[in-house]
Amino acid sequence: MTSRGKAGNFYPVSCRANRGQAGKTTGERAPGLPLHWSYIILPAAICLLSLILASCFYHQLPAEVACHFEPDGSPDQWLSREVTMAWVLGPQFLFALLGGAIVWGTARLSTLFRQTEAARAKPQTALLFIGNIVAIPQLIVCFAMVDIFSYNLYQTHLLPMWIFLLIIFGLATVGLGLFLALIIFRGRRRVIPPED
C-alpha cells in the first residue's frame, strides 16, 4: 500500500513534467523579440536631421529651385520650392518607416527561428543591423538635399555626388566586413557542450 501510494504520487508529477517538455519542443511558441529604439536609431536620426535642415532653409530658398545638375555642376532642371521639399523629405520618411516595418516584421517572425546555443549571431544583433542598414540611402538623399540648398543659396556645390557615393559605399563595405568579422569571432568563442 505504501509503495503503491508513492508510485501514485510520482506518476502525475512525471506526466506533468513530460507534458511540459513536450510542449517546449513541439507546440509551444516563445513570444517575439521585444522592439528597441536602437534598432532604427540611424534612420530616425537622419530623418529628424533632414526635417530640421529643411525647416531652417525653406524660407531662404528661391521660388524656383535648381534640383538637378550637369556633370560640370550647372543646373538643368528646376522645381518649385514646395515640390523640392516633397522630393527630398518624402524618401526620408519612407525609408524610416521601411526600417521600422522590417524590424517589426522580423521580430514577429523570430519565433519561427529558435536560437540555439551554437548560433553565431543573436537575433538582437541581426535586428540592429537590418534596421539601420536603410540609413545608407537616407544619407545619399540627405547629402543631395544639402547640396541643393548650398547651390541655390551660395551657388556652390559641397562635393561631386560620385565622390560622395564612393565614400559612402566604401564605409558601408568596411562596416559590413567588421559586422561579419564580429559574428565569426563570437561564434568561435562559443563553447558547444559535448553530446552524451
DSSP state of 76: E
Task: For the chain, give the mean pLDDT.
Answer: 78
Q: What is the total residue count of the chain?
A: 196
Query: Among 101, 61, 112, which residue's Cα sits nearest to residue 85?
Result: 61
520618411: which residue's cell?
A: 93
Name 49's Cβ contacts closer than 8 Å, sequence gap at least 6. 142
Q: What is the mean pLDDT of residues 86-96?
A: 94
Give the rounded percent of residues in the chain with a pLDDT score beyond 90: 42
Q: Quick one: pLDDT at residue 189?
A: 66
All three cell numbers of 186, joined, read 563570437
Q: Quick one: pLDDT at residue 48?
A: 96
Is pLDDT of 117 > 80? no
Q: What is the mean pLDDT of residues 36-65?
A: 92
Is pLDDT of 137 > 80? yes
Q: Quick one: pLDDT at residue 177?
A: 85
**Predicted model pTM:** 0.70
What residue ranges do the domains of the chain occupy?
Answer: 1-30, 32-189
Query: Among 125, 80, 120, which residue's Cα sits nearest to residue 103?
Result: 125
All three cell numbers of 2, joined, read 505504501
Q: Quick one: pLDDT at residue 28?
A: 45
Residues linked to residue 69 through DSSP beta bridges, in sequence order: 75
pLDDT one-digit tens code per residue, 99-112: 999 888 887 776 65
Q: Quick one: pLDDT at residue 180?
A: 80
